[in-house]
Structure 1
Amino acid sequence: MPELPRVAGAHLVGSINQPTAEATFRVVAAELGGNLGADLPRIPDGEVGERFHWILFQGAAFDAVEGLSRVPIDPIIVAGFDLRPLVLDGTVPASDLAFGSLGYADAAAASYADFTRLRGEGVIPAGTRFQVCLPSPLAPVTTYVAPADRAAVYPAYAAALAAELDRIAAAIPADDLAVQIDLATEFAYLEGVSLGGGPLEAFFTDGGADAPALVEAIAGLAVELAARVPAGAQLGCHLCYGDVAEKHFVEPSDAGRLVAVANALAAQLDRPIDWVHLPVPIERTDAAYFAPLAGWALPAETTPFLGLVHHEDGVDGALARIAPAREAFAAAGVTVFGIGTECGFGRGPADRTAGLLTLHREVIAAAG
């Protein structure tokens, strides 16, 4: 029987319910930074301010583009953001669409200044990297562009997001930088579910709904952005089934599609992936959910993190999920994996933050 992998290290997906980046850095460092057995090599800024609800603030960036207009219907307000789709209005050819700043690079620069100051003061442990989280281009385009125009608008938005990443890489030294690409909308396409406008149709592949072809196409889009992360910087991917009111848009039947996308990303990318994060629903302590992890084909340099920490059932629940995960990962030759929550926890109550961070450390210690 293969040796069971160790559980070591925690990963924070991105959003943390704190009012400022500095507040995020301070609470994370106090609860996890430097604690034996809870190595935290990267700290995000908590996706504070306008980024509190992931990509929804990007609607303003689409509104600012000449040639795009909102459909003339009543506003569709979600968390204070208008989700009415935009369409090509005929005033500018799709090939000439030009996005301005998307906000990610500016936010990263501001948060990095706080990060380096606090690290210099000894609040953040030396050697910790600053983590920047970016969506795949597919997510905002799917959210804000009407289905018929997504294919035409996608190249312009993808170019703008690539430019944001280039600005981030120019402002933050590579040996201080960790970039996470968030893939969530991709799994709505794979599962064939609706995110509010009917079942999604993959405009980016000729392979139709064929699962293997769709996985390869999805990975290919993400790789275009991930490949721009500079050498020396770390790269990770957060694979997600959504997080609205702490619920997935659909509960995965098992980890199969997550593993398939992770394997495809690694196969298509010419640079190392330092980590991949995968969610684990709270009710899944059964071996069937974790069985696909036996097909994990990423190299040892990529650390898998399982989002199996849930505040509702604490250490005992996490350990119940760790046990079958260990068995499946062992079959794939994985020797170590880390833990995290299913998604970010920026939309949960702020008074839960410190305890949830502490829970990571307790789970790692209990897992041995």
Structure 2
Amino acid sequence: MTTLPAVRGAHLVGSINQPTAEDTLRVVAGNLGGHVARIPDGEVGERFHWILFQGAAFDAVDGLERVAIDPIVAAGFDVRPLTLDGSVPAAELAFGPLGYADAALASYADFKALRDAGVIAAGTRFQVCVPTPLAPLSVYVTPAERPAVYPAYAAAIRREIAQIAAGIPAADLAIQIDMATEFSYIEQVGVRGTKPFPWFVAGLAEGAQASTDEVIAGCATLAAEAAASVPDAVQLGFHLCYGDVAEKHFVEPADAANLVAVANALAAKVARPIEFLHLPVPIERDDAQYFAPLRGLALHPETSLFLGLVHHEDGTEGALRRLAAARPALADAGLTELGIATECGFGRGPAERTAPLLRLHADVIAAANA
């Protein structure tokens, strides 16, 4: 017997390990096409490791220079931070193209061709994933200069979104904004061991402590500013994430409380509709304690919730355990439906896992509604 909320559909966070965008679109359509309303291009090419390719965009800005230390190489990218070199005032920094719009427009051409050929179902949207400006800035700018550099990079992200929206019909487009770095600030856990200072909290003096609520409010304010660039006719969604380095979080959440707090802050601060929201579920958590905070979700009626409870390691059985633990809290929050997803993207897993993992989503949906 089916237990409510019912499971309706699947969501793909973005990263999928296939050689090209066309390969990604074909494998998704062939293995999960009937269950997804949106298909991403897999974040192929230089985007394979999320935001790390943005280092080149920072290098190209007059007025910024790498700190004078040996390269710090991660996944083939030099992630040494940059600093203001004094040659250009911070207010005059100017970023060029970041690569998101160029990639989206190229992949959309593949998407449209496959949809016109009947490979992708009519009505399916093309999903473009972009980070909040806070994420690349936190990797590639020294902490003391992040407030000064942020406006220029945030403006560049908004331009990328505008170019994407100008080049892809609104009825075909969904834009997902990724929020992962935010949780290192919220949880006060540095990705490289140093606690990040939440400079974006209004009125916070350097070195002072901010409350978790203040940090969440600040993160949501910045994300809402980025979301304001998405036209109303384009679907908007958020992917909340605790990171994915070697399929591990940078910190394991004690429960879903901070995820719920961020979701509710977005619902309050984003002035336009949010069509979808993705929340991760760690593989170890099939206990009621983790999901209890979901009772406090305050989403708008148009927002579809997707829980990242699908893990390749324990398949349908594990997903159903996590779903059973989540359903009572979601029912108490007033939800009658939810969708499923993986915890994060799976572009850095082996390519041969892709098709079976997509089919696993369909198996979980069928079992959950049996």
The TM-score range, normalised by the shorter chain, is over 0.9
How many angstroms does 1:4 deviate by? Answer: 2.5
Residue 7 of structure 1: how far off its partner (Å): 0.9
* CA distance in structure 1 between the aligned counterparts of 2:228 and 2:177, rounded to whole angstroms: 11
2:278 matched to 1:282? no
Tell me which residue corresponds to 1:110: 106
Matched, 1:148 2:144: yes
Give distance in 2, aligned partners of 1:255 and 1:12: 20
For the pair 1:256 / 2:252, whether they are aligned, the reply is no
Cα distance in 2, alignment partners of residues 366 and 23 from structure 1: 28
Aligned counterpart in structure 2 of residue 163 of structure 1, from 136, 140, 159 = 159
Residue pairs, 1:24-173, within 5 angstroms:
24-34=24-34, 39-173=35-169
Judge conservation of contact 2:12–2:40 (CA < 8 Å) in 1: yes
The residue identity in structure 1 corresponding to 2:347 is G
The amino acid that maps onto 2:266 is L
What does the per-residue CA deviation read over 1:334-356, in whole Å, with 9 as the maximum and x for residues that have no partner?
11000000000000000000000
Does the aligned pair in 1 maintain the 2:232–2:273 contact within 8 Å?
Answer: no
1:56-108 deviation digits (Å, cap 9, x = unpaired): 00000000000000001000000000011100010100000000000000000
- The one-letter code matched in structure 1 to 2:19 is P
State the match for 1:235 in structure 2: 236
Counterpart of 1:316, as a letter, is E
Displacement after TM superposition at 1:197 (Å): 5.5
Between the aligned partners of 2:78 and 2:361, the Cα distance in structure 1 is: 35
Give the percent of matched residue pairs that are identical in Structure 1 and Structure 2: 69
Corresponding residue number in structure 2 for 1:346: 347
- Aligned-residue offset at 1:42: 0.1
Tell me what 2:215 maps to. 214
User: Is the counterpart of residue 174 in structure 1 residue 175 in structure 2?
Assistant: no
The alignment covers a number of residue pairs equal to 362
- CA distance, structure 2, for counterparts of residue 349 and residue 151 of structure 1: 38
Give, in whole Å, the separation in 2 of the partners of 1:251 and 1:62.
Answer: 30
Task: Report the CA distance between 1:300 and its aligned residue.
Answer: 2.0
SS for the counterpart of 1:258 is helix
Paired AA for residue 96 in structure 2? G
Q: Distance in 1 between matches of 2:69 and 2:213?
A: 37
Letter in 1 for 2:116: G
Deviation per residue, 1:135-191 (Å, 9 max, x gap):
000000001000011000000000001000000000001111000000000000000
Answer whether contact 1:300 1:334 (CA < 8 A) is retained: no
Whole-Å Cα distance in 1 between the matches of residues 14 and 151 of structure 2? Answer: 26
Taking the aligned partners of 1:156 and 1:293, their CA distance within structure 2 comes to 36
DSSP 3-state at the match of 1:32: helix
Supply the distance in 2 between the matched residues of 1:247 and 1:300 (Cα, whole angstroms). Answer: 32
The CA RMSD over aligned residues, in Å, is 0.8
Residue pairs, 1:258-337, within 5 angstroms: 258-337=259-338
Unaligned stretches of 5+ residues in structure 2:
none
Partner of residue 199 from structure 1, selected from 195, 199, 207:
195
Distance 1:212 1:200 in 2: 16
| Structure 2 counterpart of 1:8 | 8
Identify unmatched segments of 5+ residues in structure 1: none
**Native 8 Å contact 2:243 2:249 kept in 1:** yes
TM-score, with normalisation over the residues of structure 2?
Answer: 0.97
Could you list the runs of 4 or more consecutive aligned residues of structure 1 that deviate by over 4 angstroms after TM superposition?
Answer: none
AA at the equivalent of 1:18: Q
Match for residue 23 of structure 2?
23
Deviation at 1:8, TM superposition (A): 1.1
